[in-house]
């Protein structure tokens, strides 16, 4: 089996339990492989770490860092599932919710959305902060794919998927500060004028409801969707990241 | 006729010339965009497309980089683009009223382009002229200092008469050095080449040992040991090393690098060359902040003179194999690029987003090469160490903070300007020397530094007590410290790179809370939320700048709480929703101005 670490090899401690790792791995990658849940949004096992959402924040010897970029080392004492860090995670989630326009009841992605599932996991019951209600465009120009930027959390997974796997460079990041936003690479700036197709990896990588296949929104009814049957942490424990 | 708006065409020859000068490589992107804009005012989409094609980038990559920098424009701006420096020191000198006055005279709203396309007036982050403000920046190139009502009135007249900036009164552009206290760095300079000759005589190994012996620590704020950084770079495997000088002096209230670059440019370049000798670099880059564009030509002249005297270029001082040269990269308005990994991204022509570290630049920096990045003042110091030895430098200051430090003093004092002291100097001493009276607080190290109140003026400038990157802003008892902190909150929100959640959203939320307090709708609950945001940002941000974004807030709440409480409507919860304001339109339409009209419940 190649997908497991050598149990006689090096290990670090995550919330008091040993996690084996392969040299060069990050804390989050080793923990995920071991079926241990550390909340995250912008990280995906198929891509290089990004480190922007900050949900995977952990503490090592009192110092905070992102588990997705923190190199595992023998004997590290990593704290993740603590009251303090989970409170920070909840605040970060609330920030993402108020920054965009996230109306779960009317969103096709509800039940399949990592942002929503993680918010449930962290016990988020309301936005806490005042909503920004930004004015962001919806691009419905593409025959098969809808692009709703109201829900973008700037994880850049679509940027990476389109670049690394599809070889198309359909997406890029523009702007700065609170105005940071996803760009579409075409002369018109519209998705219809790119080479993107429904079979692209970028078309299925979005953890939230920005990049959606058209005409499939409710094929799977609410109640039977990915996170309706098992929470995000339960799925991580089963090795489904 | 406004040349900016003759269609959207950029002369093909201009682009070809820029490509020839900078090379048709992606690293040149920001420089090419900046210079295209200098020629044509703004950057239309078809121009971005043409640049993308020439550099082998996608249009979205070029658009993404252009949209990152505050001084690059993808929509039309005025032929005259006037930016008022918006540091607290400028506002204390009356910049808000002066800007309103200029807008009124020109008939434009701040941030909006007038219909004739002639002029746009807006604010920008501190331009580093706090000792001679209020200041403004014209067309991202020229600075006008010591603004007053007369200058603003004349300025409006010149703009309305379409007088080119080059024909404006020369004294407006005068930038004074205001050196009030000189020690080693601001004192008598040595002859160009003397420090380099001393370093060559010592040899690279011994010179590095001298720097380590001096205990010199980086002057950009973090205070990392310079000798150790250089040793790490020197030992990193790889062909080709790079020496970078960080002259992106963006921390509000800091202007000492501007004076060093104006008066001690030879010492800066000599320090870089000395570093190249030690780490084995052939290539040097100086990242000059966009606000200091007016220093470019004088700096280029110094570089040329050094080449002419064999202090740069091939075989420096006749030493076979000692080849090193320096290029200047001009920034385009982004505070975050002062962070060394963002600065390197920006040098590579990209968005200035901080990198994931490790690896650190000493191993993997500019274009993946081992790179040292040091502050202007650090490079100035190493020449003196080459001449007088590490032990001599270590004998100045305190054991943990050796040598001298240059401070940029501004705000409520009689003699603002540049002051150099040995480390270990009392805050109170600096206040006495600059003629500060009735001082309420000092912001040391800029907004990301620390705010000290009167009971702390016995503390000392040192890495182990009050560390600083060089800003020293003085506030007397007439100032509202809440308003000072609110200005800094706006600064951080404006300058957040937008990469990580806590800084991107957190700085915007802080602004909303502070503005709510300022509008008189705040309660103690809002102060609690501010504390909560501060704690999160200190723990969770991607880079150090985000982590420090709430420093002024936390310090002022802790030390000047009454200043906040004066703004509270009640000490308990108060909603941000203002019923009276929401109903004002309906009231105007119905003519119901009687108090409590909305409480009626007619049958």
3-state secondary structure B416-458: CEEEEEECCCEHHHHHHHCCCCCEEEEEECCCCCEEEEHHHCC
Average pLDDT over residues A63-76: 95
Residue B508, classified by CB atoms within 10 Å of its CB into exposed (0-12), middle (13-18) or buried (19+), is buried
Decide if A178 and B505 are in contact by the 8 Å CB cutoff: yes
Phi-psi region of A220 (alpha: psi -120 to 50; beta: other; left: phi over 0): beta
Confidence of residue A2 (pLDDT cuts 50, 70, 90): very low
Q: Which residues of A touch B72 (CB under 8 A)?
A: none
Please name the residue of chain B whose CA is at the shortest distance from the CA of residue A64.
B539
Residue B9: what pLDDT?
A: 57
Q: For B402, phi and psi rounded to 5 degrees?
A: -85, 155
User: CA nearest A168 in B: which residue?
Assistant: B58
The pLDDT tens digits for B523-550 are: 888 888 999 999 999 999 999 888 898 8
* Inter-chain Cβ pairs, chain A and chain B, closer than 8 A: 114
What is the band of B6 on the pLDDT scale with cuts at 50, 70, 90?
Answer: very low
Task: Tell me the average pLDDT across A208-228.
Answer: 94
- Is B435:B414 a contact under the CB 8 Å cutoff? yes
Indicate the length of chain B as a whole number: 603
Put simply, the answer to whether A54 touches B60 (Cβ < 8 Å) is no
Reduce the DSSP state of residue B176 to 3 states and report it.
coil
Is the distance from CB of B403 to CB of B423 less than 8 angstroms? yes
B485-500 tens-digit pLDDT: 999 999 999 999 999 9
**pLDDT exceeds cutoff 50 at B598:** yes
In the predicted model, is pLDDT for residue B440 greater than 70? Answer: yes
Q: Summarize pLDDT for A107-116 with one digit per residue, the tens.
A: 999 999 999 9
Global pTM value: 0.94
Chain B residues near residue A66 by CB distance under 8 angstroms: 542
Are B528 and B489 within 8 A, CB to CB?
Answer: no
Q: Which chain B residues touch A if contact means CB-CB below 8 Å? A: 45, 49, 58-61, 63-64, 67-70, 334, 351, 356, 358, 493-502, 504-509, 512, 529, 532, 536, 539-542, 576
Q: Backbone phi, then psi, for B222, in 5-degree steps?
A: -75, -30
Contact A178, A128 (CB under 8 A): no
- pLDDT category at B581 given cuts 50, 70, 90 is confident
CA distances from A76 to A33, A37, A72, A85, B314 (A): 17, 17, 7, 17, 49
Q: What is the least distance, in Å, from the CA of B500 to any CA of chain A?
A: 4
- Give tens-digit pLDDT for B395-433: 999 999 999 999 999 999 999 999 999 999 999 999 999
**Three-state secondary-structure class, residue B319:** coil
Residues of A in contact with B539 (CB under 8 A): 57, 64, 88
Q: What's the mean pLDDT in B555-572?
A: 83
| Residue of B59, B498, B540 with shortest CB distance to A176 | B498
Shortest CA distance from A93: residue in chain B:
B501
pLDDT classification of B44: cutoffs 50, 70, 90: very high
Contact B93, B479 (CB under 8 A): no
Q: Which of B500, B512, B516, B528 should be substituted to probe chain A, the one whose Cβ sees the most A Cβ atoms within 10 Å?
A: B500
Query: Mean pLDDT throughout B148-168?
Result: 96
């Amino acid at each position: 089996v190649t997908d497991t670490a050598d149990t006689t090899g090096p290990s670090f401690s995550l919330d008091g339990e040993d996690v084996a790792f392969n040299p060069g791995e990050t804390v989050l990658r080793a923990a995920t492989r071991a079926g241990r849940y550390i909340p995250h949004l912008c990280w995906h096992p198929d891509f290089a770490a990004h480190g922007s959402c900050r949900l995977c924040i952990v503490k090592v010897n009192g110092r905070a860092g992102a588990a997705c970029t923190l190199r595992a080392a023998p004997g590290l004492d990593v704290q993740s599932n603590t009251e303090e860090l989970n409170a920070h995670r909840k605040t970060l989630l609330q920030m993402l919710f108020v920054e965009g326009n996230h109306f779960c009841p009317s969103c096709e992605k509800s039940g399949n959305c990592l942002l929503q599932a993680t918010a449930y996991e962290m016990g988020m019951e309301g936005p806490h902060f005042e909503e920004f209600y930004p004015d962001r465009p919806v691009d419905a120009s593409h025959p098969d794919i809808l692009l709703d930027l109201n829900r973008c959390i700037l994880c850049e997974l679509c940027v990476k998927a389109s670049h690394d796997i599809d070889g198309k460079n359909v997406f890029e990041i523009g702007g700065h500060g609170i105005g940071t936003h996803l760009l579409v690479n075409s002369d018109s700036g519209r998705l219809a004028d790119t080479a993107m197709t429904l079979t692209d990896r970028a078309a299925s990588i979005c953890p939230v409801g920005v990049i959606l296949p058209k005409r499939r929104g409710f094929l799977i009814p609410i109640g039977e969707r990915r996170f309706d049957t098992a929470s995000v942490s339960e799925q991580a424990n089963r090795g489904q990241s | 006729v406004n040349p900016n708006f003759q269609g959207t065409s950029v002369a093909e020859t201009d682009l070809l010339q820029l490509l020839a000068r900078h090379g048709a490589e992606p690293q040149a992107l920001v420089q090419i965009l900046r210079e295209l804009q200098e020629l044509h005012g703004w950057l239309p989409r078809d121009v971005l497309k043409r640049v993308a094609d020439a550099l082998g980038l996608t249009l979205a990559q070029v658009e993404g980089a252009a949209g990152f920098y505050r001084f690059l424009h993808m929509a039309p701006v005025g032929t005259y683009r006037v930016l008022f420096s918006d540091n607290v020191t400028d506002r204390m000198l009356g910049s808000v009223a002066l800007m309103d006055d200029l807008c009124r005279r020109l008939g434009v709203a701040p941030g909006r382009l007038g219909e004739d396309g002639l002029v746009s007036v807006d604010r920008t982050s501190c331009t580093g002229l706090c000792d001679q403000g209020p200041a403004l920046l014209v067309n991202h190139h020229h600075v006008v200092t010591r603004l007053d009502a007369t200058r603003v009135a004349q300025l409006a007249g010149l703009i309305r008469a379409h007088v080119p900036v080059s024909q404006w009164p020369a004294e407006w552009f005068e930038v004074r050095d205001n050196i009030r206290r000189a020690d080693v760095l601001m004192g008598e300079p040595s002859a160009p080449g003397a420090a380099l000759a001393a370093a060559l005589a010592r040899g690279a190994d011994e010179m590095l040992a001298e720097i380590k012996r001096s205990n010199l620590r980086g002057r950009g704020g973090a205070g990392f040991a310079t000798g150790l950084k250089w040793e790490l770079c020197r030992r990193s495997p790889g062909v080709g090393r790079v020496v970078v000088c960080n002259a992106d002096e963006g921390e509000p209230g800091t202007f000492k690098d501007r004076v060093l670059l104006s008066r001690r440019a030879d010492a800066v370049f000599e320090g870089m060359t000395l570093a190249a000798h030690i780490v084995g670099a052939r290539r040097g880059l100086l990242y000059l902040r966009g606000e200091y564009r007016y220093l470019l030509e004088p700096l280029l002249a110094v570089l040329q003179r050094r080449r002419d005297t064999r202090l740069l270029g091939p075989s420096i001082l006749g030493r076979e194999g000692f080849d090193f040269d320096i290029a200047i990269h001009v920034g385009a308005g982004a505070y975050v690029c002062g962070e060394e990994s963002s600065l390197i991204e920006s040098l590579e022509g990209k968005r200035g987003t901080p990198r994931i570290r490790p690896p650190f630049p000493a191993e993997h920096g500019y274009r993946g090469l081992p790179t040292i990045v040091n502050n202007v003042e650090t490079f100035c110091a190493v020449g003196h160490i080459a001449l007088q030895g590490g032990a001599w430098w270590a004998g100045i200051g305190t054991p943990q903070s050796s040598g001298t430090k240059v401070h940029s003093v501004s705000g409520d004092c009689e003699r603002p300007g540049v002051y150099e002291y040995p480390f270990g100097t009392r805050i109170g001493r600096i206040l006495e020397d600059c003629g500060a009276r009735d001082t309420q607080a000092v912001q040391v190290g800029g907004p990301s530094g620390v705010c000290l109140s009167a009971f702390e003026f016995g503390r000392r400038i040192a890495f182990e007590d009050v560390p600083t990157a060089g800003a020293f802003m003085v506030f007397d008892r007439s100032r509202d410290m809440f308003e000072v902190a609110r200005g800094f909150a706006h600064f951080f929100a404006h300058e957040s790179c937008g990469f990580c959640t806590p800084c991107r959203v957190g700085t915007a939320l802080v602004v909303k809370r502070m503005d709510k307090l300022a509008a008189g709708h705040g309660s103690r609950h809002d102060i609690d939320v501010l504390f909560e945001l501060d704690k999160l940002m200190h723990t969770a941000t991607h880079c150090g700048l985000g982590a420090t974004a709430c420093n002024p807030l936390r310090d002022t709440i802790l030390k000047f709480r009454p200043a906040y409480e004066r703004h509270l409507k009640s000490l308990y919860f108060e909603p941000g929703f203002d019923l009276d304001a929401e109903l004002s339109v309906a009231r105007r339409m119905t003519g119901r101005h009687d108090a409590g009209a909305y409480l009626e419940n007619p049958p």
